[in-house]
Every structure is written in C-alpha cells, then in structure tokens.
Structure 1
C-alpha cells in the first residue's frame, strides 16, 4: 500500500500539532449545512416566539434550537422530548419555589438543588435532568418584565418552538449521509489494511517488533471506530426521517449495519497482532500458509476499501476472505503449536467478521469457512 493510502491511519498516530488557516477554512466550508441550520433555526425560533407569540424574553427559543441541533448522534427525537419534558418540570418546580421564597442568592441555591432533587426522585435523567435544573435557575435569576406573560408558560412554549425549529432544519437540510459514512468506512478500512500489512510483514521477516507496531496501530484506531459508530447512528436517523435522504436508505442502512462487524474485525486484528508477536518472541517460525492467509486478508480489505458499495467487488472480497480462512486452517497441518493454532483461529474469526460486514448472514458462515 502506498504512503498516500496509509495517510488517514497515520494521522491517528502522529497528529499534526499545527492547524493551518487552509485547514480551518476547509472545515468551515464543509460545515456549511450545519451553519445554515443553526442560522435558520435560531432565527426562526426567536421570530416565532417574539413576533408571532409576543414573548418579550424569548431567549430560550433559539437556545433550545441549538441544543436540538447539537444533540447526540441518532437521538435527536429523544433530545426534543427530553428538552421539553425537562423544561416543563423545571418550570413547574422552580415557579412554585419562587412564588413561595422569592428571588436572591440563597433562593437561587435552594431552587437549583431542590429542582435537581425532585427531578431525580421522578427519575429524570440526562438532558431532561439538565434542562429541569437550568429552567429553575433561569426562572430564579431573571425578573420578568412588567406586563409580560407568565414566564413559566412562555419558557415552556419557547422550548417547544426551539426544539421543533431545530428538528425541522435537520429534516429540511440533512447532512450528506452516504458521503459521511463512506468517509468513515474508508478511514477504518485503510487503517485495518495497514495493520494487516504489518502483521504479514512481521511473519515474513520474523520481526516481533513489527508485530508490536501493528498492535499499536490497531489500538490507535479506536477513535476512528468511536467516530464511525456515532456517524452511523446519525446518518441512520437522518435517512429514516429526512425525505430528501429516503432514496439513500438502503445503502446507508447496509453501511451502518456493517460497523459493528468492522469493529469486531479490528479487535480481531489486535488479538492477531498480539499472538503473532508472542509467537515470534518465542522463536517460532510462521508457517508460509499463515503468512499467505494474512496477505490474502489484506487483498480482501483493499477490495472493500476500493468501492464498498459495489456488489461485484464485495463478492470478490468475500471469495478472498474464504480463501484466507482456508489457508490458515491448512497451515496448522504444516506446524501445529498453541500459537499457530491461535493465529489460524484468529484469521478465521477476522474473515468471518468481514464476511458479515459484506452482507453474508451468520448462519452461512460455517458452510463457507469449514475446511474440507
């Protein structure tokens, strides 16, 4: 694999300490949808609350819109629900306390703590608990303008308006789902290819340090996996809800469904690197069949990385994975030790996870991978 192909994975290990102006401008340019969503949702939420409903302190409407837009990946429907529930609960408890004890420093402390206690007693968690406390605090801190509407009711309505405006912008201006998840998959597959290449090279050269380096690279890929899981949850939500992305639903669901299997494959690669390093440190020579099985895995992952969406290419990759498993299983007959048996089993496990990532059902794995 060329240095250019390995660049995304190397960036995990050797992050640049300096971010250039061009990097920042590129990040801004690629975030144009998010910036437009923020602008439109906050402006619309404030305008509706202020000019349509006549709320004089409609600050929470745009805040609620931003909270919804920035909610956790794949859970924005729940964010809207928790936001409104938490605000309503905090408003209720806070308003009752303020009517009884008034406003001030000690009243602020009491409102915040008691709102939290009551919310937890009612089993509010996460966003709902946070917004309940925030609502009580803001009610205690801000004195309503003379002649203004009931602040409790206004704040609840503002939260609902802001949440709905933020959610609407996610549907009207959805992210580029296929591009986003494809970029994450390509980065992960490039990393996995690099790890397997190092493992194969370590087996050919009998270099335990090279196997240790492969293990370190595989461990450094964890942030890529975590980011890919978040992206998969996010784009799955978008294609389910946004009409503009419905036509991409089948591809995105297939991509997202492969993330757990690719995660398992990378974990297998870590175990494989560890077993190879152990074998080489003990002076055992890797059978040729085992080295060729790992090299065949590299070829299969490269095919995935070239064009993951092509059913033809996936079929070719699956054939190479079956071949890799067969090579590993037959290599044990050449030299059977605890280490070679463990490595062969790990190659088979890695091939199985990649086959499932390519769409092969679990029930078909034994028939494909059983050795004749």
Structure 2
C-alpha cells in the first residue's frame, strides 16, 4: 500500500467571524472616540511641548489616552490616581537617582523600591501602576540639557494629559441613551430566546432542550457584565457632560434596571434547570405553566421593542402580572418539588421584570398575590 496515494483534501480556511463590512461599521460607530483621541492627544502634546517647552512630552498624550480609556464610570478617579501615582513615583525615583545615579542595577532598585514605598503608603490600582512607571521612566531617560528636570515635567505632563482627556469626554460625549438602550436590547433578546427554548421544552417534553436553554442563559453572563460597565459609563457621562444632561432621567432609570434584569436572567437559569428536572422525572407539565412562560416571552419582547416607552412598559407589566397569576393558578392539587419550583420561578421572574420596569419592590406583593 506504500504506492497508494492518499486522497487530496482541499484546505478550507475558517470563515472570519467578523466581516470587513462589520469592522468598517464598527469604525463608523466609534467616530466620537476617534475624534476624542485625536484632539486630546494632539492638544496635550501641543500644550506640553510648545506652550510649556517640554522637550520630552511623550507622557502628556499617553495620560490623555489612559484617562479616556479608563474604567467605565471612574474617569474622575482615573485622573486623580494618574496624577497621584505620577507625583509619588517621581518623588521617590528622583531622590533615589540623586543618590545612586542611572544604570541597570539602579533601574531594578528604583522599580522595586518605588513599588515597595507606594504599597506602604497604600497606593493601589492606577496610582500604584503610575508610581512604578514614573520611577522606571525617570531612571531610564536622561534629561535634556538646559531643560526642566524630568520629575517636574512628567508630573505636569500627567496633569495636562489627564485634563485634556477628561475635557474631551465632556465636550464630545458618547450617546448615552443609545448606548445603554442597545445593551439592554441585547440582554432582553437573550432572555426572550432562553424563555422560548424553555417553553418549547415544556410543550414537547424535551429535557435536552431545557438543558440547552440553561446553557444559553449561562452564556449571557458576558452580556450582563458588559451592561453593568455600560451603565456605569453612561451614568458618569450623563452626570458630567452638559450635552447629555437632558438624558439624565432616562439614564438613571435604565441603569437602575440592570440589577433587576440580571436577577431575571438568573431566575431564567433556575427555571430552565427545574423544567429539565421535571421532564427527566416524567412529570406532567401543567398547561397553565407553559402558557405562563409564553406570556413572559411576550412581555420581554414588549420591553425589547421600546424600553423607554411608558405605554409599552405598562403593557408589559400587565402581561407579567398575568403570567404570575396564571402560574400560581396552574398548580395541581398534588404538588411536586419541581412543579412548585417552576411556578415560583415564573413569579420571581415576573417580579424582577416588574421592578426593572419601575414597579417599587414594596408594591410587588399586592400586585402579584393571587386572590
């Protein structure tokens, strides 16, 4: 068989997950970020170099980028930590360099001792990082003759860059309402899909489909984490940027719903798990429970169509109350643990979605109690 030739297999390259058109669309969607980066970095460098005469003003644009790309909802703190860390790092490093000079072992000593002293002063996060960075750069870069000491210029550049980045976030803010609405829609679509699989599993007695719904619900965790980040980001911008002050009421309501929607998805996971257990034990699914889940789907879809509409919120809330009532009334005279748990989860899911829609927690019992 040594002379036999193996059949030729054509190599198939994996299809890219993101097309060129989608990537170009992403660039267009982020035009504000691109403009902010250009203006903030260029402005910071210009101020530090031409107005203040700094010969090595590289950290001014870097500080601007760090500020703009800082953690969502904490850019005020980022600016503070940035300047604090730089000031601390240049102080410690400058004292060490005056004593021991510059070189390889001096670099190692400066980096280590700066980190140790910063930790002893309880510096953390961005402040600790920038303290170490400042010490390393001071030890590595020989100051230009005739210019200010690098300790002074680096601290000033950090302040300039941080303020330029922060100002651009206020002058040209992102569209806060659109951004959080898009994130909410993504989560609501995911929740509707999970509930749809659960309802189909209940209709067809398919435990594997309920397990698939549970897996899909677990896979939404990155969406939820992204939504929390977006909510923190847009809340900060709506609070600080004058151009977005008119959106503050909507943003506050949107951001306030994130915890409740997170809880609703957790309820959906438990619901899928209980339905799967019910079907594996060959328990008969009360028709009313399946109908209740399908009503939940409709309510979530109404939310997804226009989360900001008061009329739609009222319609969705009515459907949620209907789903909860139907689930409670569908319980058979002889309960099993799984049947009772499924009904309880439908009620919990309805309650969390009602709170996401603005219903106070204190009003839930009166609204959802079955007569």
Pick the TM interval, shorter chain. over 0.9
Alignment of 1:127-276 (within 5 A): 127-276=126-275
Q: Which residue of 1 aligns with 2:60?
A: 61
TM-score, length-scaled by structure 1: 0.95
> Unaligned stretches of 5+ in structure 2?
1-13
* Residue 21 (structure 1) aligned with residue 20 (structure 2): yes
Alignment of 1:13-52 (within 5 A): 17-52=16-51
- TM-superposed CA distance for 1:333, in Å, is 3.3
For 2:201 and 2:229, the matched residues in 1 are separated by 33
Q: Structure 1 residues 42 and 98, CA, compared in 2 at 3 Å: closer, same or farther? A: same
- TM-superposed CA distance for 1:18, in Å, is 3.2
Task: Tell me the secondary structure at the aligned position of residue 96 of structure 1.
Answer: helix
CA contact (8 A) 1:287 1:334 kept: no
Task: Tell me the secondary structure at the aligned position of residue 332 of structure 2.
Answer: helix
- TM-superposed CA distance for 1:19, in Å, is 2.4
Largest Rg, 1 or 2: 2
CA contact (8 A) 2:286 2:332 kept: no
The count of corresponding residues between Structure 1 and Structure 2 is 358
- TM-superposed CA distance for 1:17, in Å, is 4.0
Task: Tell me the secondary structure at the aligned position of residue 142 of structure 2.
Answer: coil
Q: Which structure shows the higher helix fraction?
A: 1
Q: Which residue of 1 aligns with 2:350?
A: 351
For 1:303 and 1:64, the matched residues in 2 are separated by 44
Task: Tell me the secondary structure at the aligned position of residue 333 of structure 1.
Answer: coil
CA contact (8 A) 2:264 2:353 kept: yes
Render the CA deviation track for 1:34-65: whole Å, top value 9, x for unaligned.
01000000011011111111111111100000
For 1:266 and 1:195, the matched residues in 2 are separated by 9
Which 10-residue stretch deviates more, 140-149 or 324-333?
324-333
Q: Which residue of 1 aligns with 2:365?
A: 366
Task: Tell me the secondary structure at the aligned position of residue 72 of structure 1.
Answer: coil
Task: Tell me the secondary structure at the aligned position of residue 60 of structure 2.
Answer: helix
For 1:16 and 1:347, the matched residues in 2 are separated by 40
CA contact (8 A) 1:287 1:335 kept: no
Render the CA deviation track for 1:58-80: whole Å, top value 9, x for unaligned.
11100000000100000000000
For 1:81 and 1:368, the matched residues in 2 are separated by 47
For 1:22 and 1:194, the matched residues in 2 are separated by 27
For 1:357 and 1:232, the matched residues in 2 are separated by 14
Render the CA deviation track for 1:213-239: whole Å, top value 9, x for unaligned.
111111111111111111110000000
- TM-superposed CA distance for 1:252, in Å, is 1.0
> Unaligned stretches of 5+ in structure 1?
1-14
Render the CA deviation track for 1:246-293: whole Å, top value 9, x for unaligned.
001111111111011001100100010000000000010110111111
* Residue 125 (structure 1) aligned with residue 124 (structure 2): yes
Q: Which residue of 2 aligns with 1:6?
A: none
Q: Which residue of 2 aligns with 1:325?
A: 324
Q: Which residue of 2 aligns with 1:4?
A: none
TM-score, length-scaled by structure 2: 0.95
Alignment of 1:55-134 (within 5 A): 55-134=54-133
For 1:318 and 1:334, the matched residues in 2 are separated by 28
For 1:297 and 1:100, the matched residues in 2 are separated by 71
Q: Which residue of 1 aligns with 2:276?
A: 277
Task: Tell me the secondary structure at the aligned position of residue 332 of structure 1.
Answer: coil
* Residue 303 (structure 1) aligned with residue 302 (structure 2): yes
For 1:176 and 1:103, the matched residues in 2 are separated by 48
